[in-house]
Structure formats: structure tokens, C-alpha cells
Amino acid sequence: MLKRLIAALLAVMLLCLSGAALGDEPQLRGYDKKAGYVYLTMGEYPQTKEGEIKPILWRVLSVENDRAYIVSEYILLAHRIHPDDNEWIANNADLKTTEIWDYMNNDFLPNCFTEEEQGLVVDTEELGKMFLLSREDLKNKELGFGTNKSRKAWGTEYALANGLFKYSHRHGKHSPYWTRSQSTTAKYGGVCTKAEGNLGYIRVVVADEGCRPACYLDLTRLTITGGEGTMENPYTVGGIAE
């Protein structure tokens, strides 16, 4: 009887230990007001002044319905939204009809990500795979935005050496970047960040505004292969190639 009791107790202990181990597995999460953001690396892109290729650092904004919404921590390049603002207006500011979307999905994604990494990126019907944040995103406190300071972002040395505009020291030396939203004041304008981190607009043909790609990751295909999820030691991820 005693042996059976000991065996039962050992079995319970093993189950508890295995449950604790599973609970200790690293997981992606969205923005938390106290804990801040989780970070990961995925893909590679030129980032130094000399064009050295390095892993791209991503910030996890939210996690919902087996999807993680992520955005590049840094402004990776300067790029106009579209070469013709009349076409932008005629196409109802549909991002999928623009030059910047074509670059992100047909150049940036296939050339900077492995097949395994590309298999993690969700192909959304409305926005495709790679897109830009929206005006609403940059007002959303649940994503960690909502203030001028929170919207500021800095360009890589590569982006700055290749045309990205930079504000003065007085403003913090950050750079403006596009959203996918159309200006309500001027139809030819795309909403972007400004000197104080506030939102404004500029013509979509302007070429020195920043591109800060965003996408959704399929968490049912994603595994965390290393790192701690901090900016200094971000998670590395793997998945299933398509």
C-alpha cells in the first residue's frame, strides 16, 4: 500500500514539474505598460553606413488570435509611398497599389528573409504580407503608442546615408516615417510622423520619409529558438517553410 502511495505521489510530482517546465517556455506577448515590449530578430538588411547586413530587430506590439503584430524597431530605409499622388487618390489610397508596398512585398521580403521566415508571415487579404502601421495604430495606447514621444523612431546609419531625413538635435535626431493612412486634410498626402513625434502629412511622392515595415506572424508556425526577448538580447525565431 505504501509503495503504491509513493508511486502515485511521484507521478503527481512529475506532472507538476512538466507543467511548470511548459509554463517556463518563452512566449511572445504584446505591449505591457509595466514590462514594456518584447523584441525578436527576423530577416537581414543593410544597417551600417557601409551597408553591412545585420539581423532586423522587431518590436512585438500585440498578440491576438494566434497572431503577433510586429514592427521594425528602426527605420530601415527612405522611400516614397508612390511616384504619382493622383494615382494614390484615384486608387483610394489603397496601400497594395503603391510603389512602397510593391517594394516591401516583392523585394524586401523575398530577398531579406529565408523561406522559413517568410513562412511565418501572415498573408492578409487587405494588406498583404508586409505593410505600414496605420494612423490609428500610432494613437493606440494598448500598442504602446498614443504620445508624441512614443511615436519617435530613429533611422539606421544605412538609411540616413541613403536619403532618410533626420530632425535636428533640438528635436532628438529622430526621423519621420510613413503610415499607410491617407491624410484627411489633403488627399494627396500620406500620414507620417513629424518633428515632435506628432502626426501630420506630406505628399506621397516625397522620397526622404522613412519606411518602417510591419507584419503579422503566425504563432502556430513559430518557435522561439534563442534569446531573452529584450532589446539587448532579442528572441530568435524559427518556423515551417512554405
Return the closest-CA partner of residue 75 out of 110, 100, 38, 96: 100
pLDDT band (50, 70, 90) for residue 43? very high
CA distances from residue 112 to 41, 56, 76 in whole angstroms, order as listed: 12, 9, 12
pLDDT of residue 5 exceeding 70: no
Q: Is residue 15 part of a domain?
A: no
**Grid cell digits, residue 44:** 537581414
Residue 147 lies in a domain: yes
pLDDT tens sequence across 177-206: 999 999 999 999 999 999 999 999 999 999
The model's confidence at residue 240, banded by pLDDT at 50, 70 and 90, is low
**pLDDT given for residue 24 in this prediction:** 63
Question: Higher-confidence residue: 230 or 9?
Answer: 230
Instruction: List pLDDT tens digits, range 120-155.
Output: 999 999 999 999 999 999 999 999 999 999 999 999
Report CA-CA distances (Å) from 216 to 57, 68, 213.
15, 5, 11
Nearest 5°: the CA angle 137, 110, 145 is 15
Range of the domain at 212: 28-238
In total, how many domains does the chain have? 1
Residue 5 lies in a domain: no
16 within domain boundaries: no
In a domain, 228, yes or no: yes
CB 132 within 8 A of CB 180: yes
3-class secondary structure, 104 = helix
β-pairing verdict for 199-203 and 38-46? unpaired
Element holding 61 (H helix, E strand): strand 53-64
Q: Give residues with Cβ within 8 angstroms of 48, minimum separation 6.
A: 54, 156, 157, 158
187: which DSSP letter?
T
Please report which confidence band the pLDDT of residue 17 belongs to, taking 50, 70 and 90 as the band edges: very low
**Measured CA distances, 38 to 10, 28, 45, 60, 180 (Å):** 37, 7, 20, 6, 24
Q: What is the pLDDT of residues 83-129, one digit of tens each?
A: 999 999 999 999 999 999 999 999 999 999 999 999 999 999 999 99
The answer to the question of residue 172 being in a domain is yes
If phi over 0 gives left and psi between -120 and 50 gives alpha, with beta otherwise, what is residue 223? beta
155 within some domain: yes
- For residue 3, tell me if it sits in a domain: no
**pTM tops 0.85, yes or no:** yes
